[in-house]
Structures are given as C-alpha cells and as structure tokens.
Structure 1
Amino acid sequence: MIMKSFYHIILSAAFATPLIAGCGKSFLERTPQSSLEESALTNKKGVNTLLIGAYGALDGQDFKDGDLVNLSGGSGYAVSPDNWIYGSVCGGDAHKGSDPGDAAAVLQIATFVGNATNSFFNDKWRVDYEGVRRCNFVLHVLKNVTDMSADEKKELEAEARFLRGHFFSDLKKMFDHVPWVDENSESFLKLNVDDYKVPNDKDIWPMIEADFKFAADNLNEVQDVIGRANNWAAKAYLAKTYLYQKKYALAMPIFEDIIANGVTAKGTKLALTTKFHDNFDAFTENNSEAVFSIQYSANDGSGGTGNANQGEMLNYPYNGPFSCCGFYQPSQDLVNSFRTDAAGLPYIDDFNDHAVKNDMNIASSDAFTPDAGNLDPRLDWTVGRRGIPFLDWGNHPGNDWVRDQHSAGPYAALKNVYMQATQDKYYDGNGWAPGNAINYVLIRFSDVLLMAAECQAEAGDLTIAQNHVNEVRNRAANPVGWVKTYIDPSRPMAGYTNTPAAHYKVSPYAAGTFTTKGKAWAVKAVRFERKLELAMEGHRYFDLVRWGIAQSELNRYFSYEKTITTDIVGGNFGAKNVRYPIPQRQIDLSVKNGTSVLTQNTGY
C-alpha cells in the first residue's frame, strides 16, 4: 500500500507555468532547472508520475521555500478544496470569523460586495486551471506511451479525465462562463502566445459530462491505492453534473444504482457509517461512506505541512489549545436549523422562531447553562458551542475561545478539528497554523442519498425520496453516535459517560408524510436535510444557486443574522451574485488585438 504522500509528489518538468487563458507561453517551451525532458516521461512510470501530480493538485496546496502556498503562489486558505469560503460562508452556514479586519477580502466575498479585482477569485481560478493543465499534460503524454497495454492506457486516461472533470466542475460552479481547454485544444498545443487566449463563450457542461461518462465507463471498480477514483466515484460525479442541470431523469437511475450496488475504491459496499463523526476523524476515514476523498497526512516525513489539510488552517477556535485563528464561525441561523419539535422533526419553515440559546455577551467566567430544548444531535458534531464537549478537548468555554463575539458570533467550526488523543499522528504543527490529516470527502454516501432523494422528489417517487431522507435521519437518531458528557470534565480524554451532552431528539418522517404533504413540501424537506447533514462542508451556496432560491434565502439570512452580529450588516445578494466574477487579472491578460477575449459575467 502506498502512503498518502504518494499524491503530493511534485515533478518539476510537469508543473511549470499554469496553462490558463491569457497566461504566457506553454510549459512545453520551458525546461526548468533540474527538470526532465518530455521524452523521459513518455513511458508507464513517467505518465503515472504525472497522474500523481494531477491528484496532488486536488488540495490546491504546495510547500515552497519553507512556507505553504497555493499552486498559484497565494494563501492556501484562499483555494481550500472544501470551498469553506465560497460554499459555506457565502451560503450562510458560517461567518468569516476572527475580527472584521483580518482577511478582509473574505468578508467582501461573504457579503457579496467583492468585485473582480479581489485576489481570492484569481487564486481560485488559477489553481483549478493548474489542475486542468496537469490532467491535459497526462493525456498529451499518454498518447505516445508504448509500454502500456490498451486497457492500462484506457484506465489511466479515465483517471485523468475524471480529475479534469472535477476541476472544471468546480470552475463551472464558481464562475459559470469559463474557457474549455483540453489536450487536443490548439491553445494547449501551439506555441504562439496569442493562442492561449481562449474565450469563455461556450457552455462547458457537455464537455464535463463527457469526461465523467468516459471515466464511469472505463475506471476500475477496485483500485490498488487508497485515494484513486473508481468507476462509482465517476458515476456519482456524472449524476451530480446532471443534477446541477436539472436533468433529474438522467441523474436519478445513476444515483439509485450507486445506492444499490456501489462500492468504495477498496471494494467495500457503499453505506452510511454508524457514527456521523467517523466522516470527520482521520482515524476512521476512507470508510464505507467515502465515495471520493482528498487524501491528507501529517508528520509523514515529507517535510513541512504540504501534505496536511491546510486549506482549513485558519479555522480553529481562537486561543485555547489551538494556535490559529478563530475563522469560520457557524451562524446562529445554521444552529437554529438543528432545533427539533416534539416529534423530533425540524422546523423547516420557521426555525429561527425557535432559536437555540447562545452565550453572546457572557464571559467564560460567568455561569451559563446550554439550551435544554430538543436538538438534532448532528449539531454538536458540526458546531462548537458553550458548555458542550468539543471533541475530546473539553467543554467549549465560550468567549475565551472566540476572537470577537460581536463581529461573528459565539460558535466554532468542528468538522475540521483533529482529536486530542491522536494529535501526535494526525496533527501537523510544522507550519504557522495548524495542519491535520483529516481527509476532505468531496462526495460521501449521505450526499448521494440526498441527491437521489432530490431527483425522486423532483421527477419521480415521493415515497422513495422519503426513504432516502429517512436513512440519513435514522443514522442521526442512533444514540451510539451522539455526543456524550465526559466522565471527568477536567480530564476529557479519560472517556465519556452514556449520558447525551444535550437533549437530542431526532426522528424519521412518518410513513406517507412526503406523499401527503405533496411535491413542493417534499422538495423543501430534502433541501433542508442537506442543510443539516452537509453543513460546513462547502455545499450550501452552490445548492441555493442551483435551486434558484439564493437571492431570497441569503437576503433572509442577512436580515436575521445582522441582528446578532455586526460583520454582515452590509450583506446583500443581488441577481448577479448567482456566479462569482471572472477575475479581472485574467480578463486583462486575455487582451488580443486590443480586445479582451474573456467576457465578464453580467453585473460585474
């Protein structure tokens, strides 16, 4: 078995200047110091090493000259593959956190006043296109490899196209109108600098579909290395691509096939884990729920923190046992969503009328009793809140672990935090901010269940939709997976009692509920379940946009949340904000014969 660091090998010959619209001459013209000629890569070993580099681009990170940077040279957190900024903060799951002046560019994005000159957009664009470029180079070199069988070449092509589909789907979700460049494009093969200026005037969903379809048809079902994509991962991405285009009839049978027959790349039947938190613990990752994950490792001997998850480097409680930095604070709006009624069901339409008690303006030295009402137990595996066990680090003390309550509220992110008991193995302190070995699961099985439920609710069977939602809720209802109190709060690693840490009450929907209440309500219930199950995982903004409710939902969020915190008082979501702006830097670089080849998105 090859270790996780396998995916972070960097081959200098393969990874010179990124090939992006308007960006200089091709790496094919360059011979970096200590690099290999392309001919040296045109063999089985060489092209497989290039593929490793394409996998290595998934996390967007590099370790250079003793410091962690992203693949475009900027801050690693700007391009975190979990999209914590662009998907969760911008989706109302969380505040930027810290204080208003710290990484102010993120607050501009979060309140939708960020414009095309915001450097974070340019970083994100460049890093995704670096991933595309690596995939294209694999495919370019593969054509001339002679020491591989046809089946081996087809499998490797499928992996490269799967990864390219991933990078392009991220670009499509972010910016909508982006240039398509593949290994056959003139922009990839020619040497004239102007040939690299590719317009963004085509819908690239069909090309993304084609990549995932090829991968689904040609990838192996079982892989010999943890972290490599299998055919079921490709099917999940293909179905998700259809879902984003509202092609429910095409997506639905693929999702149902995955649910019935899918396996992980290790050959394990895809299924929900018994415990929700097993998806966010490095000790229990690559489990039955992991359809496809970005692999991270810590203290693996590779030097620095380049293999650790440092896209989340800012997102730990302020002070306390963590060195950085108080960002990514869950919103009160999100916390209230986990309130349940007497039957253990969510308040889908009026959850903010049933607010969860918080410790705003209460010093950690003053007494505080946590909310005693009914709550969905997933709350306390998602949000760190006062008086509740924060993994095995002790009860969250409230204000002492928050940088500025008035700005961003009283809560802390939790899904990205490593365990104290295993920090010697899974925490990496070699950088200026924490790194850890917790994988980011790009698609997990509960996501597949809920996407299938959405398709069924939109175009199929409300009973099946409810069954899929209930499978997710039944896992949440199992007390085995609930947060429990400590045996001794002063020694949190001494173990837990069998007493739930809060009054948890969650139940499946009663038989026939979706059918009785009708399609519109059923769709709303599925969407709300996604909010609960996938909170703080980078999905929310993109979900709201594809559902066509981003403007109403996010302005509702701003209206409510600004009564609690000060950071998002100026937040407003307009019609243009259903996509992010094309980076102005890229538009400036795309000028050809006095005219920009790239076109800015409407409204920016």
Structure 2
Amino acid sequence: MNTYSHKIFGWAAGILLLLSACSKDFLERKPQAALDESQLTNKKGVNILLVGAYGAIDGQDFVNGDMVNLSGGSGYVVSPDNWVYGSVCGGDAHKGSSPDDASTILTVATFGTNASNGFFNDKWRVNYEGIRRCNFVLHLLTKVTDMTDAEKTEVAAEARFLRGHFYSDLKKMFDKVPWMDETNTDFANLNVDQYKLPNKESIWPKIEADFQYAMQNLNERQSEVGRANKWAAAAYLAKTYLYQAKYTDAMPIFENVINNGVTTKGVKFNLVKHFHDNYDGATENNEEDVFSIQYSANDGSGGTANANQGEMLNYPYGGPFSCCGFYQPSQDLVNSFRTDDNGLPYLDSYNQHPVKNDMGIASADNFVPDGGNLDPRLDWTVGRRGLPYLDWGLHPGRDWIRTQTSAGPYSPKKNVYMQATQSQFYDPNGWAPGNAINYVLIRFSDVLLMAAECQAQVGDLSKAEAYVNRVRARAMDPSGWVHTYIDDDNPLEGNTDDPAANYVIGTYPVGTFGGSGKDWALKAIHFERKLELAMEGHRFFDLVRWGEAETTLNAYFTYEATITSDIAGARFTPKKNEYFPIPQRQIDLSIKDGKSTLDQNHGY
C-alpha cells in the first residue's frame, strides 16, 4: 500500500510466525517474547494482521538479508504477475539470459517438467500463506469486542476478497486444490498440509462466494489506495464467472463496472490517455487501475522485498542495469503487432509478415529497424534494436542481450523504471534491481476486453466491437507513441511529428463484428488481449480457458524454434498441460492412513 503499510506487514508477518512457532515448541513452553491470540483480538491487532494479508499478495519477504519468497525460494519463482507461468508458458516471451541460467524455467516453459519441480511447491505454499493470513483475520474477528458491526464487516470483506484472489490464482494454476477456511480452528499451525484436505471438488463456488460477499460489503472508497473496494471485488467476481464460461452471469457485472465503477479514490474508471502511464511509477494508481499490488523503493527495509522483487531478473543484460537478461519477448509476439494498411492486425497470418530483427548482427554493425506498419503498443512492450528504450537511449541490440541464439534479440519493457525518475522508483538494495512500479492485477482495459468477450458470446456483437475499438482508439493518439529524442537535455521530450517507427493503427469499421459473425469476433477479441495485455502474465491462462492452448502453443513452438534454440522439442500435450502438476511435496505431506488425500492432475 505504502511504506508505512509495508513496515506494518513485516510486523504482522512476524506475529503470525510467532503464533505458529510457540504452539509447536517440542517442550510445550511458550517463548517469553511471543504473543498469543488474546493480544491481537482487538481492532488494532486485526487491522495489522489484515495489512499482513495484503502484504502476502506479492509473495516476497526479506529474511536474514537474503531475498527469498515466503516459502523460502527465489522471488521470481512466485512473482505475482506470473511472468513464468502466464507469459513465458503462453508464448509471449522466452526465459531469456543463457540456457543454463535458471534452466528450471525452461523445463516449465517447454512443458517437460514434473511434479517434483520445486517451482510448483513454492507457488502453492505462497498462495496458501496468503490464505492462512486471511483465515486468521476472519478467525479473530469473531472474538473482537471493540469494533462496530460495520467495521467488522469491512474487514471481513477485505479478507475474503484477498482469500478469493489467492484461491483463484491456485485454481487457474493447478485446478484441483483443497479449500481451507476460518472454520479450520487449529490456528497454531495454519499450513494446509496439516489438515489432509482433499482436492476432489471444484472450489469455484467458494471463490464466487468470497467475491460476492466482498462486492456486497466493501466500501467504494478506501483510506489507502492499495486496499480493495467493491468495484475491484465486482471485477474479480465477473472474471471468476468468465473463467467458468458463465457469460450470462459475468456480463451484467462487467457492464456495471464499466458504467458505474470507481477507484478507491472515487475516480470513475476509464482508460488513461497514454498506454505507458500504466507502467510508470509516476502515473500509477490512476483511473485505469482496478486493483494493483503496491510496490515501494528504498523504504528503509534494507532490501528489495517490497520493490517488485518478482521481476528482479527481467532487465536488459548489461548496459545501465545490474541484472539479468531474462524474460525476452518472442518474435511471435513482436510479429503480432504488424498492421495492414487500415491499421488492423493480421489475425491469422501475422507470422507471414515478420518484423525485422537484428539477430546475428553486432551492435557495432549497421542495422536499420523495420519500416513497415506497426501497432504503437509494440514499442511500449518490447525493447528492440534502434528504438528508444524508454528514456535510456536507443536499444543497442546484442550488447544488451546475453545469448541471442538462445532467446532472441528483444528485451522486456513494461516492468522497467525510467532513467529520469530512477532516484525515486529504482531500488539498488539487492543483487538485482528493484523498482516501485506497481503491478496492476486488473486494469480497466482488461475489463473492457473481458466484457467484449461476454458480449460476443451471449450479447451484442456491436457492443463487443465498441469495447475493442475503445481500447484500440487509445493507442491511436500520437501523443502517446514512442518518439525519437529531439532535446538531449530532456530525453523524455518528444514531438508528435517524429514517431520512432511507422505506427499505423485503426479501429474496426462499424459493423465488422456483426458482419463477420461470432467466431470471427471472438478471434479479434482474443487477439486484442494478446496485444493489449502482452507481457503481463495473462496469455497462457487465456489460451487454456478458450480451449486454444494446444493449437496456438504448438504452432508457436514450431515457428519460434526456427529462430531460437531454447524451445527446441517443446510440445503442449492436451488434457495434461492445461494445468500444472500438483506439487509432489504436497501430495507426500497429505498422506493420511497410508493414502494421499490429494489427487494428482491427469497425465503427471
């Protein structure tokens, strides 16, 4: 939320650990400095623990000077933007760096991994850590006597919203997950494996119930910008319905969010004027922000746990950045931004119109960037040779790439801080960069495109078209494009007459969706999500829920393997790879009466 809240989160996390540890002491002696539940069963204690539940969203912690996640592993493994699982596995990007650097990511990205991969156990445990914090808040809340009913309801709604978030992340990752709530009353040890709970029933109805409660009981405005409000809960509830293909349930909620929703500051939801304002610390928490993770830099914690640590590897290799060359956008993604003479995408044949790259060309050698028609969102999403890399100067190509032959010639961009404001938003306190750029879990353009999907499925194709065009129209404003530099003293200054590339983008002519039919309209909507939300961790999960993962990803592997070596032999196997394996460690821990209570996903 803010620096103060991050510090409170650290205190709250410590309290949770003390409570857990004191009850499991093998001597059954209470440590002198430990707190018991009675010391927290009051308004102040419950609110501190609620902030601790918010703090678990990013999955990070700072322990003994080492950057780790809440389960004890590397922070990037559990990054809440799901850059490994959502974007690398979805074809947005390559692992990056060199093949032997964090090579476990490659086994995940090529679908060659198994249930023993520790990444999955880390992801599982981080989400359940968040869930147990929410449950503890709800457990204590029933005993508090110094709060009004309205205050209790608000806290309960925030805790249930957060619990819904953690469970929805587990559900889309693993499908078959056990449900643990505040009725599990032994809060001495809140780990899910203690209860030997089964994972045989879908938890979607319970996730729906949490978001429904939150939507009905949360305030519209909040005292701190990072807290959830009723409209964030509404968007999450509608998204939960969408993931189950309950379009008729989702559609009116999305429409309500679009027409009436406001931010926690009371500002009506809208698209910000410039696309890049969603990825700049100076312009965050804006009218497009439905719900986001609040990051902070140089907050006095001594490390980068609160500074977007999950993406600490994802900066160009070399140059002005200390690390690490991961998360390199794919050629397939770059080609997707090619447009025709009307400024529209090539929905089916984009790879037949490839964007020129500098593969195999040294930075000292001459290279002229692609001169064809391009969607301007490309150069706010992907760093490519000869184009401005934010305000750091022109991307030099191979000098900023660790191994071109392995992962291609491109660099990530949406997560990178600006040079002009690095004193405020860059955090150098770790071995890899940190920054204070929030990660937006749901933004308004995402809501518009999800609503368009529902309209195309069960509503009005013209309204679906209008929502897609609203997103595309924002990208048409030349003042929001990447420009070449015209003033060396002010590298952010640009001129609408000097775009950095040949940007040509248009909206779909009125009636296109209706005239082309439902299936074509859905194809256009799906493609627009690929463009608008690229490198934001959504792609793999979208492909799975659309039933398009097998066809799209295997075509991606075939095409991209002709350019890079890292994904050679990769293959998506249907009826298996739609979900990741239940961690073997959790299956082993769930044994009860000689038998595991957790079922493994099919095919693992």
Whole-Å Cα distance in 1 between the matches of residues 142 and 592 of structure 2?
Answer: 31
Distance 1:203 1:33, change over 3 A: farther
Give how far 1:491 is off.
Answer: 6.3
Whole-Å Cα distance in 2 between the matches of residues 372 and 356 of structure 1?
Answer: 9
Q: Is 2:537 the counterpart of 1:528?
A: no
Render the CA deviation track for 1:34-69: whole Å, top value 9, x for unaligned: 432110000000000000000000000001111211
Render the CA deviation track for 1:233-274: whole Å, top value 9, x for unaligned: 000000000000000000000001110010001111100000
8 Å Cα contact 2:9-2:49 kept in structure 1 = no
Which residue does the alignment assign to 2:213?
A: 214
Render the CA deviation track for 1:172-204: whole Å, top value 9, x for unaligned: 000000000000136768999986111111100
Amino acid of the structure 2 residue aligned with 1:592: K
Look up the SS of the partner of 1:329 in the other structure: strand
8 Å Cα contact 1:550-1:578 kept in structure 2 = yes
Give how far 1:306 is off.
Answer: 1.9
8 Å Cα contact 1:456-1:464 kept in structure 2 = yes
Whole-Å Cα distance in 1 between the matches of residues 432 and 19 of structure 2?
Answer: 27
8 Å Cα contact 2:128-2:192 kept in structure 1 = no
Give how far 1:11 is off.
Answer: 2.2
Look up the SS of the partner of 1:293 in the other structure: strand
Q: Is 2:53 the counterpart of 1:47?
A: no
Whole-Å Cα distance in 1 between the matches of residues 188 and 500 of structure 2?
Answer: 60
Which residue does the alignment assign to 1:588?
A: 588
Which residue does the alignment assign to 1:227?
A: 226
Render the CA deviation track for 1:412-459: whole Å, top value 9, x for unaligned: 000000000000110000000000000000000000000000000011
Q: Aligned residues: percent identity?
A: 69
Render the CA deviation track for 1:330-383: whole Å, top value 9, x for unaligned: 000000000000000000011000000000000000000100000000000000
8 Å Cα contact 1:360-1:409 kept in structure 2 = yes
Render the CA deviation track for 1:487-543: whole Å, top value 9, x for unaligned: 15x767363343100000111100000000000000000000000000000000000
Which residue does the alignment assign to 1:67?
A: 66
Q: Is 2:598 the counterpart of 1:598?
A: yes
8 Å Cα contact 2:391-2:419 kept in structure 1 = yes
Amino acid of the structure 2 residue aligned with 1:495: E
1:143-542 correspondence runs (5 A): 143-185=142-184, 196-487=195-486, 493=491, 495-498=493-496, 499-542=498-541
Give how far 1:302 is off.
Answer: 2.9
Look up the SS of the partner of 1:11 in the other structure: helix
Amino acid of the structure 2 residue aligned with 1:277: H
Distance 1:187 1:581, change over 3 A: farther
8 Å Cα contact 1:187-1:196 kept in structure 2 = no
Which residue does the alignment assign to 2:11?
A: 10
Which residue does the alignment assign to 1:91?
A: 90
Whole-Å Cα distance in 2 between the matches of residues 193 and 460 of structure 1?
Answer: 41
Amino acid of the structure 2 residue aligned with 1:233: A
8 Å Cα contact 1:179-1:198 kept in structure 2 = yes
- Structure 1 unaligned spans of 5+: none
Whole-Å Cα distance in 2 between the matches of residues 101 and 176 of structure 1?
Answer: 30
TM-score scaled by length of structure 2:
0.96
Look up the SS of the partner of 1:311 in the other structure: helix
Give how far 1:4 is off.
Answer: 6.0
Whole-Å Cα distance in 1 between the matches of residues 96 and 18 of structure 2?
Answer: 34
Distance 1:32 1:451, change over 3 A: farther
Give how far 1:305 is off.
Answer: 1.4
Whole-Å Cα distance in 1 between the matches of residues 543 and 50 of structure 2?
Answer: 34
Distance 1:494 1:221, change over 3 A: closer
8 Å Cα contact 2:18-2:35 kept in structure 1 = no
8 Å Cα contact 2:24-2:188 kept in structure 1 = no
Whole-Å Cα distance in 1 between the matches of residues 351 and 193 of structure 2?
Answer: 54
8 Å Cα contact 2:193-2:586 kept in structure 1 = no
Which residue does the alignment assign to 2:553?
A: 554
Look up the SS of the partner of 2:34 in the other structure: coil
Whole-Å Cα distance in 1 between the matches of residues 412 and 362 of structure 2?
Answer: 20
8 Å Cα contact 1:12-1:32 kept in structure 2 = no
Whole-Å Cα distance in 2 between the matches of residues 275 and 419 of structure 1?
Answer: 15
Render the CA deviation track for 1:375-409: whole Å, top value 9, x for unaligned: 00000000000000000000000000000000000
Distance 1:364 1:202, change over 3 A: same
Distance 1:18 1:473, change over 3 A: farther
Look up the SS of the partner of 2:509 in the other structure: coil
Q: How many residues are paired up?
A: 598
The RMSD of aligned alpha carbons is 2.1
Distance 1:342 1:292, change over 3 A: same
8 Å Cα contact 2:193-2:589 kept in structure 1 = no
Amino acid of the structure 2 residue aligned with 1:357: K
Give how far 1:13 is off.
Answer: 5.3
Give how far 1:281 is off.
Answer: 0.2
Look up the SS of the partner of 1:308 in the other structure: coil
Whole-Å Cα distance in 1 between the matches of residues 332 and 25 of structure 2?
Answer: 47
8 Å Cα contact 1:473-1:508 kept in structure 2 = yes
- Structure 2 unaligned spans of 5+: none
Look up the SS of the partner of 1:63 in the other structure: strand
Look up the SS of the partner of 1:62 in the other structure: strand
Look up the SS of the partner of 2:523 in the other structure: helix
8 Å Cα contact 2:164-2:207 kept in structure 1 = yes
Give how far 1:30 is off.
Answer: 9.2
8 Å Cα contact 2:281-2:436 kept in structure 1 = yes
TM-score scaled by length of structure 1:
0.96
Whole-Å Cα distance in 2 between the matches of residues 261 and 195 of structure 1?
Answer: 44
